[in-house]
Structure 1
Amino acid sequence: MSSSATTAGTMTSLFGDTSLTEAERAIAEMRAGRPVVIAQAGRLFLAASAEYADAGRLAALDELTGGTLQLVLTPARLRALGRPEWSEPMALPAAGLGSARIEALSARQASGEEARTRAGTALPDELAAPHAAGAAALQLATLALMLPAVLVGPLAPAALTLPALTVRAEAITRYGEDRATHVEIVSRAPVPLLTARNCEFVVFRGGEGLREQVAVVVGAPDPARPVLVRLHSACLTGDLFGSLRCDCGDQLRTTVATMAQAGGGVLLYLDQEGRGNGIANKMRAYRLQSDGLDTYEADETLGFDLDARRFDFAAAMLRQLGYERVVLMTNNPEKIAALTRAGLQVSGVERLYGRRGADNIRYLAAKRDRAGHFLDLDALDHHAPASCG
């Protein structure tokens, strides 16, 4: 083997796929508030999150793009602004908007009243197609758990020496696809729980953002038989603090107790807060819900679609644990479909109920009516565990 081939092999073993590295670094740069350069179709575009668009940054970005800077918004945000005819991201010139207008258009400080009246956020009659890198910039913002609203413009010739990270558009797309299925076990240990003393926590690293995902193996489920499985997206407010706005905490505690009574099961605790939008955006959505919007209307106002979660890596976790056939504890038809698409056999489904109350009745109804969850609201009080807060 030649020395060059040996060196290439060594570099690959140390640094892996460099296109994934590009995307990971770009995610970190965007979260830190710094613009990145996106290379697409032989051109360079400057891209930044609209979350950081104060007057000074806006002026600097506009100068570096020669006055061609655009504010790019998602179809969901456009619907919330009264323009439902667009099914693709659209843009409007950022020059002259000002930071306060961009704040309103990107929903950085949106209120429910603003969402209902659209006061001060009317869009021009003619929106433009975004610059070529607009879609990649939106995807990068989503991966970074930022608001899906970005400022994008072609890099002016005088700014080619800008000390910004450059990432290829295709690297961003590939990162989202690759990390959706790549997970690996990094640690495991027995952890006795209040309602299930025989438990093992298995920690995986992976999924979008290389976050840590946890499988709680309750009892000793037999891989030769369909195993009880729950895909539970992390909910800080409900799981830990007992929020009355949702039913997540009830579902979590019911799952563990049910699996223990059944002799075993696997709870996948997935780092997908706020239906995949992150805790900051979840709190933005909660503010909107406090002003009268339902959970899906709130997400749409912020620019998000119905559900940003992916469950590809959940299937990969189950396979690494040795489970191919499952009885899924869920009310969500998309979880059933996702595991089926991933090649697992969903042998059965068990409904999972939490309590119903004045604070979460609209949330539960929205899940039933907007996302097709299998929920009988009249049955919730009967099924909810009395010990859950």
Structure 2
Amino acid sequence: MASIVEGLGFAPDAGRLSVERAIAEVRSARAVVIAAGDVRLVVVAAEAFDATMAGVLEGAGAGDASLVLAAPRLNRLGSPRAQAGAVALPHLDIARVTSLALKPETRLDAPVAPATPAQVAALELLALALVLPAAVVCSVPEGMAAGLVTVEAHDIMAFRAAEVARLTIVGRAPVPLEGAPETEFVVFRGGDGLRDQVAIIVGRPDLSRAVAVRLHSACLTGDLFGSLKCDCGDQLRDTVRRMAQGEGGILLYLDQEGRGNGISNKMRAYALQAQGFDTYDADAALGFDLDQRRFDFAAAMLRQLGVSAVRVFTNNPQKIEALNAAGLEVVADQRVLGRPTAENVRYLASKRDRAGHYIDFEALAARAPD
């Protein structure tokens, strides 16, 4: 029986399977149990915490409840910290949880304890599930753990790196594009969470030389709908055009919407931007750092395609550093500029001034529509 189970892919990596199940539970607004040594915590995403959950936990005698928040959110609340922390919840008060987790005007009026390893793992699990980085946690009530998915904290913390090692090509086909008729799409499974990633090979790049490459994070609003709030769609199409007109290249289309925060959190940040926040302050108010993205799996995708040296199309120094750190040779980097609009100038200036992006506003002005 054991060999049959192993052959079906269950036994060899039970830890990864438990993380995948826990991600699904969190995204479905259900509680999970995180174990770290002798500690067992019930974890509920704050955005899913409601009267029903509060009633069940209180009725079962849950104790030691806390709200675990990331450092950027604590800083916004007026309790500056470099690491995540936990605020005690003497009562499972939904209004207080919502206020502390989400409302930009809230200020903290209670002490903050350093987050424990299990609590840090809870925030990492929420990040993998692409939900708001705020978790209601408590000790496991008697008899409750049997009905919940249980996952080890160390398996959660090791999950991202393990996914990079599991990157696999699962499909590829020619897909002619406007202005780039000789184009192939290659789909990878693994890398970042449970999502597929796509490499678009434009033309016939010479893999024995440095290949033109762009790491492009998916942007539904900009890439598909032509949002005026960013320059993503322009960058995407301009890169493919330049590759097609040149010696070819590879564009990696990475499912990292909203700088890795996910589409729902991106919309929350947009709502704050409409109130006057800049792009990074809006993310920080929700509990996110400047950029949640990782690019180690992008380098692994390129290596599987036979690429060892790149000429990278980017304005983001983080992408250049990530490719170098992953062992690829970055022989050159080139700028990719979109069109400035009244709606995106502040966004572009924030990327330049706060994240160090290489954005030349004189060059941008030359691209402005008449």
TM tier, shorter chain? Answer: over 0.9
Range with greater deviation from structure 2 (13-22 or 352-361): 13-22
The answer to whether the Cα contact below 8 Å between 1:65 and 1:154 also exists between their aligned partners in 2 is no
The one-letter amino acid paired with 1:74 is A
TM-score (norm 1): 0.91
Q: Which runs of 5+ in 2 are unaligned?
A: none
Select 1:152's aligned residue among 137, 142, 147.
Answer: 137
Which residue matches 1:165? 149
The one-letter amino acid paired with 2:174 is P
For 1:354 and 1:161, locate their aligned partners in 2 and report how far apart those are by CA, in whole Å. Answer: 51
Compute the displacement of 1:14 (Å). Answer: 2.3
Matched, 1:38 2:23: no
Matched, 1:357 2:333: no
For 1:101 and 1:14, locate their aligned partners in 2 and report how far apart those are by CA, in whole Å. Answer: 43
Which residue matches 1:21? 17
SS at structure 2 position matched to 1:291: coil
Which residue matches 1:375? 359
| Identical pairs, percent | 52
Which residue matches 2:121? 136
Deviation string for 1:195-243 (max 9, x for gaps)? 1111011111112222111111000000111010000000000000000
The answer to whether the Cα contact below 8 Å between 1:180 and 1:313 also exists between their aligned partners in 2 is yes
Which residue matches 1:284? 268
Which residue matches 1:50? 46
SS at structure 2 position matched to 1:67: coil
Which residue matches 2:189? 205
For 1:62 and 1:87, locate their aligned partners in 2 and report how far apart those are by CA, in whole Å. Answer: 32
Compute the displacement of 1:163 (Å). Answer: 0.4
Which residue matches 1:122? 107
SS at structure 1 position matched to 2:332: strand
Evaluate the alpha carbon distance shift between residue 132 and residue 196 of structure 1 in structure 2; reply closer, same or farther with a 3 A threshold.
closer
Q: Which runs of 5+ in 1 are unaligned?
A: none
Matched, 1:11 2:6: yes
Matched, 1:83 2:79: yes
SS at structure 2 position matched to 1:275: helix
Which residue matches 1:95? 90
Paired residues in the alignment total: 369
The answer to whether the Cα contact below 8 Å between 2:65 and 2:92 also exists between their aligned partners in 1 is no
Compute the displacement of 1:187 (Å). Answer: 0.7
Matched, 1:304 2:304: no
The answer to whether the Cα contact below 8 Å between 1:131 and 1:153 also exists between their aligned partners in 2 is no
For 2:63 and 2:272, locate their aligned partners in 1 and report how far apart those are by CA, in whole Å. Answer: 34
The answer to whether the Cα contact below 8 Å between 1:72 and 1:92 also exists between their aligned partners in 2 is yes
TM-score (norm 2): 0.95
Compute the displacement of 1:65 (Å). Answer: 5.6
SS at structure 1 position matched to 2:302: helix
SS at structure 1 position matched to 2:114: coil
For 1:64 and 1:379, locate their aligned partners in 2 and report how far apart those are by CA, in whole Å. Answer: 63
For 1:153 and 1:66, locate their aligned partners in 2 and report how far apart those are by CA, in whole Å. Answer: 6
Select 2:304's aligned residue among 320, 326, 329.
Answer: 320
For 1:320 and 1:89, locate their aligned partners in 2 and report how far apart those are by CA, in whole Å. Answer: 36
The one-letter amino acid paired with 1:262 is G
Which residue matches 2:70? 74
The answer to whether the Cα contact below 8 Å between 1:142 and 1:148 also exists between their aligned partners in 2 is yes
1:130-279 matches, within 5 Å, as 130-156=115-141, 158-160=142-144, 162-279=146-263
The answer to whether the Cα contact below 8 Å between 1:77 and 1:303 also exists between their aligned partners in 2 is yes
For 1:333 and 1:237, locate their aligned partners in 2 and report how far apart those are by CA, in whole Å. Answer: 24
The one-letter amino acid paired with 1:92 is V
The one-letter amino acid paired with 1:124 is D
Compute the displacement of 1:268 (Å). Answer: 0.4
SS at structure 1 position matched to 2:322: helix
Range with greater deviation from structure 2 (270-279 or 98-107): 98-107
Compute the displacement of 1:94 (Å). Answer: 2.1
Evaluate the alpha carbon distance shift between residue 216 and residue 83 of structure 1 in structure 2; reply closer, same or farther with a 3 A threshold.
same
SS at structure 1 position matched to 2:87: strand
For 1:65 and 1:209, locate their aligned partners in 2 and report how far apart those are by CA, in whole Å. Answer: 34
Deviation string for 1:302-329 (max 9, x for gaps)? 0011101011111111111111100000
For 1:263 and 1:127, locate their aligned partners in 2 and report how far apart those are by CA, in whole Å. Answer: 56
Matched, 1:338 2:333: no
SS at structure 1 position matched to 2:233: helix
For 1:269 and 1:126, locate their aligned partners in 2 and report how far apart those are by CA, in whole Å. Answer: 43
Range with greater deviation from structure 2 (375-384 or 68-77): 375-384
